[in-house]
Chain A
Amino acid sequence: MNLVEEYAKKHAKTGDDIPKFNVGDTVRVHYRIVEGEKERVQIFEGIVIARAGAESPEATFTVRRIANKEGVERVFPLHSPRIEKVEVAREGAARRAKLYYLRDRVGKAARVKPKHRT
């Protein structure tokens, strides 16, 4: 491991602190935001349509949701200390790594098949 990775790992989350979820899952991201003096937790719920950088310190993931009939996407850094937790509301069975095709779909077509229980 070189010095750069070593340094970055020291500042990133480790083990169980790293949120666990997959592309296609519907997640609830508990994100701490600061409003003036107060701090509160905001929840962003949507489908994970992309993950980048695996679990590396630079890793991010993209969550898409439909808000007021308008598609909204947010990119979260996986290791951000502002992310309190990522709840998996529904597991999805995605057949590809990036679900960008969901952007072109509306309503019922913009769904991900639920994962079959075994």
Chain B
Amino acid sequence: MLNGILGRKLGMTCIFTEDGRWIDVTLVKAGPCTVIQRKTQDSDGYEAVQVGFEDKKEKNVNKPMTGHYAKSGASPKSVLREFRVDAANELKAGDEITSEIFKTGDRVDVQGTSKGKGFAGAIKRHGFSGGPGGHGSHFHRAPGSIGQSADPAKVYKGKRMPGQMGNRKVTTHNLEIVDVDTEKNLIVVRGAVPGANGGLVVVKTSVKGS
């Protein structure tokens, strides 16, 4: 058993609970993943399971990786990720991991890459208020003062400024699993999941609680 699985965010919709409340849900196509390598303390210095997700054409795989996949007996995969496990974990190369590892009611963390917003200003990136639009004001969307004068004579680290926004790893914690469809490899979680539709996500057992 593994505590996580790789998947693709399919999109959001809404369903109604049994007592008639509207809830927003995100559909994730999770797995099937194949174990490519079982890393152990003896051979690699740490315990982990390397899993592959989604097939890749053989012609697009280079020689070193072809050997790596051949060792596991699995077809080449386009995505490889590792999950840390206990030494007692009995998974071995070639094992399949499906959405069966989760069941309705479980709590999970979902990790994805947020949508990239490019180089964004302080208003969009940090929610600064900005200046007046008109009435003689020339101060519109600039960040304003970034500190004091001769003392401390520097800008403090972590000062919120314009820069790259989005396109980074984001984890949403403690989402409830509403439904699991093992036939279609679907996991339905309540709420939103980071990233665009079609983006790679990692669904893991929640670290914050059950």
Name the residue of chain A whose CB is nearest to the CB of B15: A11
- Looking at A2, A3, A7, A8, which has the most chain B CB atoms within 10 Å of its CB? A7
Interface residues on chain A, number (Cβ under 8 Å): 16
Chain B 1-25, CB within 8 Å of chain A: the 1/0 string? 0000000001111111001101000
- Looking at B12, B14, B186, which has the most chain A CB atoms within 10 Å of its CB? B14
Is the C-beta of B188 less than 8 angstroms from some C-beta in chain A? Answer: yes
Name the residue of chain B whose CB is nearest to the CB of A59: B14
Interfacial chain A residues near B184, Cβ < 8 Å: 3
Name the residue of chain B whose CB is nearest to the CB of A32: B20
Whether B15 lies near A8 (C-beta < 8 A) is yes
Is the C-beta of A82 less than 8 angstroms from some C-beta in chain B? Answer: yes
Is the C-beta of A109 less than 8 angstroms from some C-beta in chain B? Answer: no
* Interface-side segment among A41-49, A73-81, A88-96, A97-105: A73-81
- 11 A-B pairs in the complex with CB atoms less than 8 angstroms apart: A2-B10, A4-B12, A4-B27, A7-B181, A8-B13, A8-B15, A32-B20, A57-B15, A77-B16, A79-B16, A80-B20
Name the residue of chain A whose CB is nearest to the CB of B27: A4
Whether A81 lies near B188 (C-beta < 8 A) is no
Whether A80 lies near B22 (C-beta < 8 A) is yes
Whether A3 lies near B27 (C-beta < 8 A) is yes
Q: How many angstroms between the C-alpha atoms of A77 and B23 in the bound complex? A: 11
> Given A3-B184, A3-B186, A81-B20, A57–B27 Cβ distance below 8 Å?
no
Contact of A7 among B16, B20, B22, B188 (CB under 8 A): B188
Is the C-beta of B29 less than 8 angstroms from some C-beta in chain A? Answer: yes
From DSSP, what is the main secondary structure of chain A's interface residues? mixed
Whether B186 lies near A58 (C-beta < 8 A) is no
Chain A 29-46, CB within 8 Å of chain B: the 1/0 string? 000101000000000000
Interfacial chain B residues near A32, Cβ < 8 Å: 20
> Given A80-B20, A82-B20, A4–B10 Cβ distance below 8 Å?
yes
Q: How many angstroms between the C-alpha atoms of A57 and B11 in the bound complex? A: 14
Q: How many angstroms between the C-alpha atoms of A34 and B20 in the bound complex? A: 10
Question: In the complex, how many angstroms separate the beta carbon of A90 from the nearest chain B beta carbon?
Answer: 27
Whether A8 lies near B188 (C-beta < 8 A) is no
Interfacial chain A residues near B11, Cβ < 8 Å: 2, 4
Contact of B19 among A3, A5, A34, A77 (CB under 8 A): A34
Name the residue of chain B whose CB is nearest to the CB of A33: B20
Interfacial chain B residues near A80, Cβ < 8 Å: 16, 20, 22
Chain B 176-210, CB within 8 Å of chain A: the 1/0 string? 00000100101010000000000000000000000
Question: In the complex, how many angstroms separate the beta carbon of B149 from the nearest chain A beta carbon?
Answer: 54
Question: In the complex, how many angstroms separate the beta carbon of A73 from the nearest chain B beta carbon?
Answer: 17
